[in-house]
Chain A
Amino acid sequence: MTSDEAAALAPSAERVGLPAIFRVFLTLGATSFGGGVVAYLREALVERERWLDGETFLAGLELSQILPGLNATNMSVYVGERLRGAPGALVACLGMMLPGTIVVMALGILFTGGGRVMNVSTVLVGVGAAAVGLLLATTWKIGRPVIQRATDVAIIAVTVAAVAYFKLSLAVVLPTIGPVAVWLYRPRAMDRLRPPTRGHETPK
Chain B
Amino acid sequence: MAIDYNKALALELRTGISVRAARVASLRSIGAPPGVMILFVAGRNGPGMGHLRTTADGSSLQWKAPSSTAFGPSIDCPSDNSYTLEDGDDPDKAIIVQVYADYLEGGVEASVLLTDVYGNEISHDDVTAGEAAAGDVTSYTIIMRNVSAGDITWLTVWLDADTPNLEISEDYATWVSPTTEAGGLVFPTLAVSTYDVLYVRRTISASSNSDPSVLVQLHVSFWLNAGEALSSKRYADARGKYRIFNAAEYRFYRDNSAPPEEGDTPFDTNATLPHTPTNTYANGTWYISMSRFNGVLDSGFLPVGPNGETYLRLDLAAGAEEGSPPNAPLGWRLELRPNGVVRVIGTYYQVGDLRATQWAIAYTTDESSPPADTPDETETMPTRGLAQLVYDLPAQGDETIVKVRLQTRRQDGETWVYSEGSTVLTVTADAQGPSAPLAAERYPGRLPESL
Answer yes or no: do A and B interact.
no
